[in-house]
A and B are shown apart, each in its own frame.
Chain A
Amino acid sequence: MEFFSHQTSYPFMATRKVWYTLSAVLMIVALGSYFTRGLNLAIDFTGGVSAEVSFPHPVNVDDVRARLTSAGFREPQVQNFGSSRDISIRLPPDATQSATAVRARLEGSLKELDPGVQVAQLDVVGPQVGNELRSSAIWALFFTLLGIFAYIAFRFHTWRLSLGAILAVLHDPILVLGFFSLTQMSFDLAVVAAILAVIGYSLNDTVVVFDRIRERFETNRRSPADQVLDQSINQTLSRTIMTKVVTSIVVVALLFLGGPVLKGFSAALLIGIIAGTYSSIYISSAIALDCGLTAEHVFPSVKKTALDLQP
């Protein structure tokens, strides 16, 4: 079985304006949403209380909220979670209350509603820890990008390819952030981990395509650059799509079967993989071309002459 005939020849370079525009629109939407709506940060970052409780009988969310408000909790967020018996509760951080006290009060007021209530999960994160996790997430993102950039600079000897790779790498996490901002899905530490994994993973394709570009320039020094780039992308297309399809199979399994804890994580991975595949096919090489990439940049002729002299 093969999905791709081995001679695909899609004109990626000729149509690059279309893909640039598409990317630009997506980026504007993503960043626009990020800056206006922001992210629905989980208590990992904000501090506060997050609880999952299950009642023996179906329970009305509004009743729970009213009960908690009357018990003196400020702005409780109460939602159904899975079934009508399972409720998730979020409370903002409260510096004056110890975790133990919050737990006792929460359990007490829910027991008034129904004595059979079970607390399945309870997280209390102090505001200080929240701030630290936020800054360590930002540092992790920073160091990953730094590492990736250093690797790119080391790996591709021309800034034209490097720039293409870097822009493609930045493109993907921005779209993931945009997705989380638009859907207001809970953005927790696991999502950050997924984004970092995506950054590393989506660069794979770009590296494979660029490797092929170098190989083709070596054999076809006189061919026009856009033609070489198109050929390189087309030749690696089958591999690029195949790999991503297979990875997506497992990520989709995680998304639908992995339970609520991994929902955000797997959604971030899925969006990131799709964005990464797109950016390495349509964006990274096109940017290198618009920066004026030629065979000369990949294989400077001086070196080539020196090599030719060898018997």
Chain B
Amino acid sequence: MLEYARWKYILVAAVLLLALLFALPNFFGEDPALQVARKDHTPVGTEASAAVQAYLSSRGIHLAKSYIDSDRLMLRFASVSDQLAARDAVNEEYKGTYITALSFAPRTPELLRALGLRPMPLGLDLRGGLYLLYQVDVNSAVGQALDGYAQDARRALAAANIPVKDVTSITVASERPNAVRIVLPPEADVNAARAALSQPLQGLTVTTESLASGSAITGVLTTAQIRERQDYAIQQNITTLRNRVNELGVSEPIVQRQGIDRINVQLPGVQDSADVKDILGRVATLEFRLEDMQNNAVEAEQTGHVPLGSKLYTHTRFGRPVLLKREVIATGDQLTNATSGQSQEGPAVNIKLDARAGDNMLRTTRQNVNKRMAVVLIEKRRESSDVDGKKVSREVTDEEVINDATIRGIFSNNFQITGLGAGEARELALLLRSGSLATVIYEIEERAVGPSLGRENIDKGVTALIVGMAGVFVFMALYYKTFGLVADIVLLANVVLLTALLSMMRASLSLPGIAGIILTVGMAVDANVLIYERIREEVRKGVSPQAAIRAGFEKAFSAIADSNVTTLIAGVVLWVLGTGPIRGFAIVLTLGVATSMFTSLMGSRALLTLMYGGRRKIARLSI
């Protein structure tokens, strides 16, 4: 007699049906597609869409389908070569108007898509694209925080009329790490100073020491504060990078933290890295300042004597030095929107400020009509050079006055910057809109895969999968006859279950991931072989067929569990320590072990019990 509990049948059937549903979207495949978005981020209209389509057909490029999806025009093609030809054609014809990104559009039927079922996303090695790994300079984020404390301290002491010799922020490199140090002259009242500083240095560990002349108050950042600051910097940079990536119009981009101080950016379908990286890596912000019109900038440059309360800018877009007031009216992070457009004086950036900056702007412009206001663009980048054979990198700040114009009327939070080229206006608007990076980032790894290579990788992976599976199926059927066919069905169920799990997790599928699926097929056979060899042994002993099946499953269980644990150990270590495609392989390997346990123990038992169960007499097993 061979029996299997009814709830187990139901469980197996339910799991497999669900798995089939989740795995289904993967079997429809994908069309190569081209995403066309307007450079100024306005929606693509139906007329424009028709124009692009007409242009493509005039160039003899065949379109499979086209539609407008979230303000972008999506064009589908039958082949990658059509897709590439269309991209080149659109880029050539509509250079200033559209930006294009290569992508794949799943052929999933509407019904499944409506249920929220989607195929596994493909990794960059399979769909082509650009992978960038950025290092975030977290130390400079801590330095910025210290500078903020120093500034507050200075202000508080000045307000309390306490004389100060020096206020410095000390970062990791020096002896006392991550601290603000305030040196007071002998005549200063240390206790009063500490009282005045209690507010600005709140949260820091503050100590006082006597010096040869005077005294010093030091506030040290705690480890938790440093960590918090670093996390904040990373998070802020991720947000900014994400905004910038979205502005680029790339489909399904990924921006994520990697380790303590890294950010990886994955841009499917992007081929040209130079433009993208220029925009992603830039730290740009604006400052609006009034021009100092009482003093002469040229004179200041020649004598080197800059009037108090003003700052000399020699690097300007209009070729002459300019003196600007130290007081900042508004900064880039108070911006709520920036768009590029046209004005009577040529290309312009339309700026919108938040309420506070708007008030400030209103007050300033009211008092200073017909005076001049300048816009300073501040960009930070990292420059590396060889010093005594050692690689030294340092942060460089470029300040450029991009615009200096007469205030014609009173305005508050809504105005224009003119005097830029069309390209510059667009780029500046984009940079301003996407916010500024908290600290400098620099690129440490780049991987680019062309779209045709990605297609080739998929084709090769799928071919290997099909041929490998076919080989296993034929071999099992020949070697174990009917039982072999049962094993084949179970293996197929295993692949479906694995695909379903991967689709549910939205884990992106890489080439090593496909290899992992293939390997899982090969390894999942192990459990079946263990069971079948046991059944054969029992049959040889003269045990009845049904009892042999039962004994086979029961006696093989410990060996199956054992052999899977060892693979699981390797899989988990890889999962934890691996990155990118290797992690994809580890996920597949680990999940594959779990699904193969389920299908070969429960699935094949259910199937065999259905076939050989009950009380009927069976002469011999086809094994």
User: A residues near B, CB below 8 A?
Assistant: 1-3, 6, 52, 95-96, 98-100, 103-104, 118-126, 128-129, 136, 139-140, 143-144, 147-148, 151, 155, 189-190, 192-193, 196-197, 199-201, 203-205, 207-208, 211, 235, 238-239, 242-243, 245-254, 256-259, 261-262, 265-266, 269
On whether the beta carbons of A247 and B530 are closer than 8 Å, the reply is no
Q: How far is the CA of A96 from the CA of B387 in the complex (A)?
A: 11
Q: Which of B453, B518, B570, B579 contacts A196 (CB 8 A)?
A: B570
Q: How far is the CA of A27 from the CA of B135 in the complex (A)?
A: 41
Q: Mark B435-470, 1 if CB is under 8 A from A, else 0.
A: 000000001111111101100110011011101110
Q: How far is the CB of A145 from chain B (nearest CB, A)?
A: 9
Q: How far is the CA of A147 from the CA of B578 in the complex (A)?
A: 16
Q: Confirm or deny: B291 has a beta carbon within 8 angstroms of a beta carbon on chain A.
A: no
With A139-B577, A200-B569, A246-B522 known, 17 other A-B pairs at CB within 8 A are A1-B478, A99-B443, A100-B274, A121-B453, A124-B445, A197-B570, A197-B589, A200-B566, A200-B568, A204-B562, A207-B566, A246-B476, A247-B519, A250-B471, A254-B518, A258-B515, A265-B512
On whether the beta carbons of B450 and A119 are closer than 8 Å, the reply is yes
Q: A100-B273, A140-B578, A258-B461 are in contact. Are A200 and B522 (CB under 8 A)?
A: no
On whether the beta carbons of A253 and B530 are closer than 8 Å, the reply is no
Q: How far is the CA of A148 from the CA of B468 in the complex (A)?
A: 29
Q: Which of A52, A208, A269 contacts B530 (CB 8 A)?
A: A208
Q: A140-B574, A196-B573, A239-B529 are in contact. Are A262 and B515 (CB under 8 A)?
A: yes
Q: How far is the CB of B452 from chain A (nearest CB, A)?
A: 7
On whether the beta carbons of A262 and B512 are closer than 8 Å, the reply is yes
Chain B residue nearest to A126 in the complex (CB): B444
Q: Confirm or deny: B585 has a beta carbon within 8 angstroms of a beta carbon on chain A.
A: yes
- Those 6 A-B pairs whose CB atoms lie nearest each other, nearest first: A200-B570, A253-B468, A250-B468, A204-B563, A247-B522, A259-B460
Q: Which of B475, B562, B582 contacts A193 (CB 8 A)?
A: B582
Give chain A residues whose Cβ lies under 8 Å from the Cβ of B135. 128
SS of A interface (majority): helix
Q: How far is the CB of A17 from chain B (nearest CB, A)?
A: 29
Q: How far is the CA of A136 from the CA of B583 in the complex (A)?
A: 13
Give chain B residues whose Cβ lies under 8 Å from the Cβ of A126. 443-445
Q: How far is the CA of A120 from the CA of B451 in the complex (A)?
A: 8
Q: Which of A120, A148, A196 contacts B452 (CB 8 A)?
A: A120
Q: Confirm or deny: B472 has a beta carbon within 8 angstroms of a beta carbon on chain A.
A: yes
Could you pull out 5 A-B pairs where Cβ atoms are within 8 angstroms? A125-B447, A189-B581, A193-B582, A200-B566, A207-B563
On whether the beta carbons of A204 and B525 are closer than 8 Å, the reply is no
With a 10 A CB-CB cut-off, give which of A6, A104, A252, A257 has the most chain B CB atoms.
Answer: A257
On whether the beta carbons of A249 and B512 are closer than 8 Å, the reply is no
On whether the beta carbons of B570 and A243 are closer than 8 Å, the reply is no
| Partner-binding segment picked from B326-334, B354-362, B533-541 | B533-541
On whether the beta carbons of A253 and B518 are closer than 8 Å, the reply is yes
Give chain A residues whose Cβ lies under 8 Å from the Cβ of B277. 99-100
Q: Confirm or deny: B269 has a beta carbon within 8 angstroms of a beta carbon on chain A.
A: no
Q: How far is the CA of A123 from the CA of B463 in the complex (A)?
A: 26
Give chain A residues whose Cβ lies under 8 Å from the Cβ of B449. 120-121
Q: How far is the CA of A109 from the CA of B573 in the complex (A)?
A: 43
Chain A residue nearest to B125 in the complex (CB): A261
Q: How far is the CA of A245 from the CA of B525 in the complex (A)?
A: 10
Q: How far is the CA of A139 from the CA of B562 in the complex (A)?
A: 24
Q: Which of A100, A155, A190 contacts B582 (CB 8 A)?
A: A190
Q: A201-B566, A250-B472, A261-B125 are in contact. Are A208 and B464 (CB under 8 A)?
A: no
On whether the beta carbons of B448 and A208 are closer than 8 Å, the reply is no
Q: Confirm or deny: B521 has a beta carbon within 8 angstroms of a beta carbon on chain A.
A: yes
Chain B residue nearest to A241 in the complex (CB): B529
User: In B272-318, which residues have CB < 8 Å from any A CB?
Assistant: 273-274, 277-278
Q: How far is the CB of B87 from chain A (nearest CB, A)?
A: 13
Q: How far is the CB of A131 from chain B (nearest CB, A)?
A: 11
On whether the beta carbons of A122 and B446 are closer than 8 Å, the reply is yes
Q: How far is the CA of A190 from the CA of B586 in the complex (A)?
A: 11
Q: How far is the CB of B465 from chain A (nearest CB, A)?
A: 8
On whether the beta carbons of A124 and B446 are closer than 8 Å, the reply is yes
Give chain A residues whose Cβ lies under 8 Å from the Cβ of B536. 6
On whether the beta carbons of B578 and A193 are closer than 8 Å, the reply is yes
Q: Confirm or deny: B268 has a beta carbon within 8 angstroms of a beta carbon on chain A.
A: no
Give chain B residues whose Cβ lies under 8 Å from the Cβ of A144. 569-570, 573-574
Give chain A residues whose Cβ lies under 8 Å from the Cβ of B540. 6
On whether the beta carbons of B567 and A201 are closer than 8 Å, the reply is yes
Q: Which of A95, A99, A250, A261 contacts B446 (CB 8 A)?
A: A99
Chain A residue nearest to B476 in the complex (CB): A246
Q: How far is the CB of A98 from chain B (nearest CB, A)?
A: 7
Q: How far is the CA of A140 from the CA of B461 in the complex (A)?
A: 26
Q: A211-B559, A250-B519 are in contact. Are A123 and B456 (CB under 8 A)?
A: no
On whether the beta carbons of B447 and A193 are closer than 8 Å, the reply is no
Q: A151-B569, A196-B574 are in contact. Are A201 and B523 (CB under 8 A)?
A: yes
On whether the beta carbons of A250 and B567 are closer than 8 Å, the reply is no
On whether the beta carbons of A121 and B448 are closer than 8 Å, the reply is yes
Q: A95-B384, A126-B445, A243-B526 are in contact. Are A254 and B464 (CB under 8 A)?
A: yes
Chain B residue nearest to A118 in the complex (CB): B450
On whether the beta carbons of A129 and B456 are closer than 8 Å, the reply is no
Q: How far is the CB of B255 from chain A (nearest CB, A)?
A: 18
Chain A residue nearest to B558 in the complex (CB): A211
Give chain B residues whose Cβ lies under 8 Å from the Cβ of A96. 384-386, 391
Q: Which of A98, A155, A254 contacts B468 (CB 8 A)?
A: A254
Q: How far is the CA of A179 from the CA of B468 in the complex (A)?
A: 24
Q: Confirm or deny: B603 has a beta carbon within 8 angstroms of a beta carbon on chain A.
A: no
On whether the beta carbons of B571 and A249 are closer than 8 Å, the reply is no
User: In B530-567, which residues have CB < 8 Å from any A CB?
Assistant: 530, 533, 536-537, 540, 558-559, 562-563, 565-567
Q: How far is the CA of A270 from the CA of B447 in the complex (A)?
A: 28
Q: A6-B537, A122-B447, A123-B448 are in contact. Are A242 and B519 (CB under 8 A)?
A: no
Q: How far is the CB of A239 from chain B (nearest CB, A)?
A: 4
Chain B residue nearest to A101 in the complex (CB): B274
Q: How far is the CA of A189 from the CA of B159 in the complex (A)?
A: 60
Give chain A residues whose Cβ lies under 8 Å from the Cβ of B445. 99, 124-126, 129
On whether the beta carbons of A119 and B448 are closer than 8 Å, the reply is yes
Give chain A residues whose Cβ lies under 8 Å from the Cβ of B578. 136, 140, 189, 193
Q: How far is the CA of A73 from the CA of B278 in the complex (A)?
A: 23
Q: How far is the CB of B263 from chain A (nearest CB, A)?
A: 13
Q: Confirm or deny: B479 has a beta carbon within 8 angstroms of a beta carbon on chain A.
A: yes
Give chain B residues whose Cβ lies under 8 Å from the Cβ of A2. 479
Chain B residue nearest to A273 in the complex (CB): B522
Chain B residue nearest to A7 in the complex (CB): B540
Q: How far is the CA of A207 from the CA of B311 in the complex (A)?
A: 77
Chain A residue nearest to B563 in the complex (CB): A204
Q: Confirm or deny: B133 has a beta carbon within 8 angstroms of a beta carbon on chain A.
A: yes
User: In B468-508, which residues have CB < 8 Å from any A CB?
Assistant: 468-469, 471-472, 475-476, 478-479, 481
Give chain A residues whose Cβ lies under 8 Å from the Cβ of B563. 203-205, 207-208
Give chain B residues whose Cβ lies under 8 Å from the Cβ of A121. 447-450, 453
Q: A129-B445, A207-B559, A245-B475 are in contact. Are A250 and B512 (CB under 8 A)?
A: no
On whether the beta carbons of B521 and A250 are closer than 8 Å, the reply is yes
On whether the beta carbons of A257 and B569 are closer than 8 Å, the reply is no
Q: Confirm or deny: B267 has a beta carbon within 8 angstroms of a beta carbon on chain A.
A: no
Q: Which of A139, A197, A248, A256 contacts B567 (CB 8 A)?
A: A197
Q: Mark B571-611, 1 if CB is under 8 A from A, else 0.
A: 11110011101100110010000000000000000000000
On whether the beta carbons of A239 and B511 are closer than 8 Å, the reply is no
Q: How far is the CA of A232 from the CA of B78 in the complex (A)?
A: 58
Q: How far is the CB of B197 from chain A (nearest CB, A)?
A: 40
Q: How far is the CA of A118 from the CA of B81 in the complex (A)?
A: 13
Chain A residue nearest to B471 in the complex (CB): A249
User: In B197-224, which residues have CB < 8 Å from any A CB?
Assistant: none
Give chain B residues whose Cβ lies under 8 Å from the Cβ of A52. 453
Give chain A residues whose Cβ lies under 8 Å from the Cβ of B460. 257-259, 262
On whether the beta carbons of B533 and A250 are closer than 8 Å, the reply is no
Q: A190-B512, A247-B522 are in contact. Are A104 and B274 (CB under 8 A)?
A: yes
With a 10 A CB-CB cut-off, give which of B274, B443, B450, B463 has the most chain A CB atoms.
Answer: B450
